[in-house]
Structure 1
Amino acid sequence: MSSIEEKFYGLPTTAISDALKGINHMDSAIKPLRDSDKIAGRAFTVNVPAGDNTGVLRGIREAKPGDILVVDGKGFTNRAVAGDFVIGLAKNMGLQGIVIDGAIRDIQGIRDLDFPVFFRASTVAASVKAAPGELQVTISSGGVSVSPGDIIVGDADGVIVIPKANKEEVLQSTLKKIEKDNEREEKYNVSRETALAYLNSVLD
């Protein structure tokens, strides 16, 4: 039997957003490095001062395999909190992916790692190491509150946060939304006539 996190994997974030009534999606600037990247798993939260990555390193060490590291980097984009070496550590520690409300660097090196990274911006400047940061606390990432254990789902459209208390309800609503969308596609998007029938039904 698959875990509920696994059941969310590959489900479109757009359908999940519809199930959540358009809330809990991160800022649209936070996108995957590669359009093919997908994640769905438990949030391991990290709160760091702008441009400091000590907490990121601590999070990579403490997170469990399969977790998604979610970093509140304060949206700061002048210094990267992770480059290809740090991302490589996360991969080798068994994390599923990283979401950073902040900057990364070493873009080509990270692409070569074949590891999902969602981020706000890239820069050339390295991080500093001045403060330990906080682990497994409620954070704000991309304008959304994220608590430890919330489910994070990401794809080419962006990142969405599913509160852990509502995960089963959201999953069922998402599956129903996908089924409804598929039925609409099969009914209306097959010819000019059916497309026109749909347009008339919603516009007239």
Structure 2
Amino acid sequence: MNNIVITDPPKASAEDADELAAHGVATVHEALGRTGFLGPRMRPAWPGARIAGTAVTALCWPGDNWMIHVAVEQCSAGDILVVATSSPSADGLFGELLATSLAVRGVRGVVLACGVRDVGELHQMGFPAWSTAVSAQGSVKETLGAVNIPVVVEGQVITPGDVIVADDDGVVCVPRLSVPRTVAASQSRLQKEDRNRERFVAGELGLDVYGMRGELERRGLRYIPHQAWSESEGS
């Protein structure tokens, strides 16, 4: 590993990030072509937050949060800090004091491929965090890592400047160069969902809203009255 800090990487626009936050993870994931989702293990420390922002990345050694402290200096308003480890770790590398330092800088939240602690305090201060574990196990500050390099979190490559969208459904990463088209696709999808919602409210079934009946018939689904079914079973 190169022990480096990359300064001032290019970032997606804050306006586009705000737009994606409004749409939420599920819509953005669909609009992106069902890619970029960090999977079901990445859960919010407390429910109800919905954020999006540009990624600042930190690669740490297991049980060592030194590079998180280094990364704080590289964070600015509108960012989300993304922390990966060089091998699997569930230790609580992030807690209330680091959150306070980030909040002062206008950072919107953190995504951790490790553990988080001080969950009650994070909830009380309203600082959002997503992680793969909750653990009181603390950390050391001994080994160098890297800041603002591409990292892998739950199988997804996250590059500094990408947009991270996070809510109760999980976390999705939108590559920086794909952000504008994802914004447009999310808007289009939301409009379609609004139209479908009106039809559902009016009492229509998904079978008709989504035009499923013909395909179900083509694949051999049959509707049989109960009496006819009973007679055929009894014969």
Q: Does 1:5 align with 2:17?
A: yes
Under a length normalisation based on structure 2, what TM-score does the superposition of the two structures give?
A: 0.80
> 4+ runs of 1 displaced by more than 3 Å?
none
Distance 1:2 1:101, change over 3 A: closer
Q: How far is the alpha carbon of 1:75 from its aligned partner? A: 4.2
Give the alignment partner of residue 117 of structure 2, picking from 102, 105, 108. 105
The total of aligned residue pairs comes to: 201
Which 5+ residue runs of structure 2 have no aligned equivalent?
A: 1-12, 217-235
Residue 57 of structure 1 is matched in structure 2 by 69
**Per-residue deviation at 1:195?**
2.0
Calculate percent identity across the aligned residue pairs.
21
Matched, 1:94 2:85: no
Deviation at 1:45, TM superposition (A): 0.8
Residue-by-residue CA offset, 1:4-44 (whole Å, 9 max, x unaligned): 12221221211111112211110211121222111111101
Distance apart, 1:200 and its partner CA:
8.7
Give yes or no for contact 1:188–1:197 (8 Å, CA) kept in 2.
no
Unaligned runs of 5+ in 1: none
Bigger mean CA deviation after superposition, 4-13 or 36-45: 4-13
1:84-126 deviation digits (Å, cap 9, x = unpaired):
1222221122211111011011221221111111111111110
Residue 23 of structure 2: SS of its match in structure 1?
A: coil
Pairs within 5 Å for 1:112-127: 112-127=124-139
Where do residues 4-83 of structure 1 align in structure 2 (5 Å cutoff)?
4-73=16-85, 74-77=87-90, 79-83=91-95
Which residue in the other structure is 2:171 paired with?
Answer: 159
Q: TM-score, normalised by structure 1?
A: 0.91
Q: 1:129 aligns with which of 131, 136, 141?
A: 141
Corresponding position of 1:198: 208
Aligned CA-pair RMSD: 1.9
Which has the greater radius of gyration? 2
Using the alignment, how far apart are the partners of 1:6 and 1:106 within structure 2? 27
